[in-house]
Amino acid sequence: MEKNVTGMDELLAGYAAGTLTYPAQALVGAHLEMSDCNRSYVSSLETLAGFELEEAQPVSISNRDAVLESILDGPLGDLNDNEPSAKVDDSATAIPESLRSIIGSSMDQLPWKTLLPGVKECKFGEIDGCASSLLWVRAGRAMPSHTHHGTELTLVLKGGFKDEDGHYVAGDVAFADGDIDHKPVADEGEDCICFAVTAGRLQLTGPVGRWFAPFIR
C-alpha cells in the first residue's frame, strides 16, 4: 500500500484534474486499473470537477459554425473512441492498458540492460520533463541505498518490494523525494518488475552504491 498519504492524495488529485505529466498520468491510470483502493476517491474528485465545470460561465467560441462544420466533415471513425484497438499478443495482459503507449504491448522484446548484478533496466526516454523506465529486480535482491533530487513514482507491476517506508505489492505506488533515503529489497520467491517515473536525478548514498554510481547514470 501507499505509505506517503499526502503525496498520493496530491497525485490522485492531479490525475483527476489532468494536470500530471504524461508518464505520471499513465502510471496513476495503470494503478487504478490494477487496484481498486483509490478508484472511488478518484471518481469523487472527477465528479466534483464535473460540477465545477457545469457551474462555470459559458465562453463563446469564435467561428463556431466553421469549427462544427470541420468536425462533421471529418471521418466518422475519428468521433468514435470505442473502437477496439489492434489485437495484441497474450503477453500483453501483464501490461496495463494505460502504460502500453509507453512500454508497448509486450515486455518480451524490450532492450533490457544490466544495471547491477540481479537488476535490469529498460529506459523509455524523457517525456514532459520526466524520465520513465522499467526495473526488473531478481527475487530477494536489494537495490543500492539512494535518495532523489526531485521525485520518484514507482508502480509495482509484478512481485513486490520492501523499503524503510513499507511493503509494496502489485498495483501499489511508492512515492519518494529528497526527504527519503531508502534501500528497496525485492520480495523472496518472485522477481519484482516496476514502472518508475522520475523528475530529477537519483543519488546513491551507501558505500556500495557510491562505488557503482559511475556505472549507473
The CATH number of residue 166's host domain is 2.60.120.10
pLDDT at 67 exceeding the cut of 60: no
pLDDT band at 207 (very low <50, low <70, confident <90, very high): low
pLDDT band at 199 (very low <50, low <70, confident <90, very high): confident
Q: Cα(171)–Cα(73) distance, rounded to whole angstroms?
A: 43
Q: Which of 206, 184, 27, 164 is nearest to 118 (CA)?
A: 184
pLDDT at 85 exceeding the cut of 50: no
- Choice among 16-25, 75-84, 184-193 with the minimum mean pLDDT: 75-84
Query: In this structure, are residues 128 and 174 in contact, taking their beta carbons and an 8 Å threshold?
Result: no
Q: Which of 6, 13, 21, 10 is nearest to 43 (CA)?
A: 13
Q: Cα(122)–Cα(56) distance, rounded to whole angstroms?
A: 44
pLDDT band at 134 (very low <50, low <70, confident <90, very high): very high
Percent of the chain with pLDDT over 70: 66
> pLDDT: is 135 or 53 the higher one?
135
0.75 surpassed by pTM:
no
Which residue is listed with cell 513499507? Answer: 166
> pLDDT: is 211 or 4 the higher one?
4
Q: How many domains does the chain fold into? A: 1
> pLDDT: is 125 or 178 the higher one?
125
Average pLDDT on 167-189 reads 86
What is the residue range of 108's domain? 1-217
The 10s digit of each residue's pLDDT in 92-133 is: 447 999 999 999 988 988 999 998 889 999 999 999 999 999
Average pLDDT on 57-73 reads 50
> Could you give phi then psi for residue 123, rounded to 5 degrees?
-95, 145
Q: Which of 127, 165, 96, 95 is nearest to 24 (CA)?
A: 127
